[in-house]
Amino acid sequence: MSNAKTLSFVHRFEPATETGRPPLLLLHGTGGDEADLIPLGRAAAPGSALVSPRGQVLENGMPRFFRRLAEGVFDEADIRRRADDLADFVEEARAAYGLAAPIALGFSNGANIAAATLLLRPEALAGAVLLRAMVPLSTPPVADLAGKPVLLLSGMVDSIVPAENASRLAGQLRDAGADVEHAVLPAGHGLSQVDLTRVAGWVQRQWTLAAPRSVSAA
């Protein structure tokens, strides 16, 4: 079910069915749309509110979240602009739907814009799951990501994201203070059941850490 309001991005919204679960911001890969990651979000974070925007850039008719000049070569000025736009949309969505700051769950192009948004507008996100992400900005801005949890899942035989690049992104996020868990899975650029299992376990840990502790009476 989608209860989307008219905001700056075309999007889908699914309300939470359990209180206290962290909302997810779902960010699709190239050629996807606002429906693409809904099943992954439901499976990885049952009960959480889901907000899934459609990228506003078209590449040969395929939606993306920012422009690229060639495979693996990004238009960094456009990344900065689009990260601001996405962060502003998150503020709109939080006000419209009464949400806490979401955890971004992005795949490929969606993971790259999530990483850029973390670095450029850290207040917009509570953390991020970055699936097959690479460094979005050659010179990362100074950012304070202290305590923000990040799960970065790379593919061992990913033909698009070099291993060194993914490791460099993990290092940039750690240097900014994020609590980064980086795993290299036996996979390519596409997602696998192992990704879902890792993401679901990680999201559950974030929910457990955020859940209020009960205090026994003395």
Backbone region of residue 129 per phi and psi (left: phi > 0; alpha: psi in -120 to 50; beta: other values) = beta
Q: Among candidates 183, 9, 31, which has minimal Cα distance to 87? A: 9
Q: Among candidates 174, 59, 39, which has minimal Cα distance to 107? A: 39
Which is catalytic among the residues 189, 195, 214, 216? 189
N- to C-terminal Cα separation, the chain: 45
Which is catalytic among the residues 11, 36, 48, 158? 158
Which is catalytic among the residues 28, 108, 154, 195? 108
* Dmax (CA) of the chain: 66
Q: 28 an active-site residue?
A: no
What is the number of other CB atoms lying within 10 angstroms of the CB of residue 103? 25
HSE value, Cβ hemisphere, 13 Å, CA-based, for 127: 21
Q: 182 an active-site residue?
A: no
Helix (H) or strand (E) holding 185: strand 179-185
Q: 11 an active-site residue?
A: no
Q: Which residues are catalytic?
A: 108, 158, 189
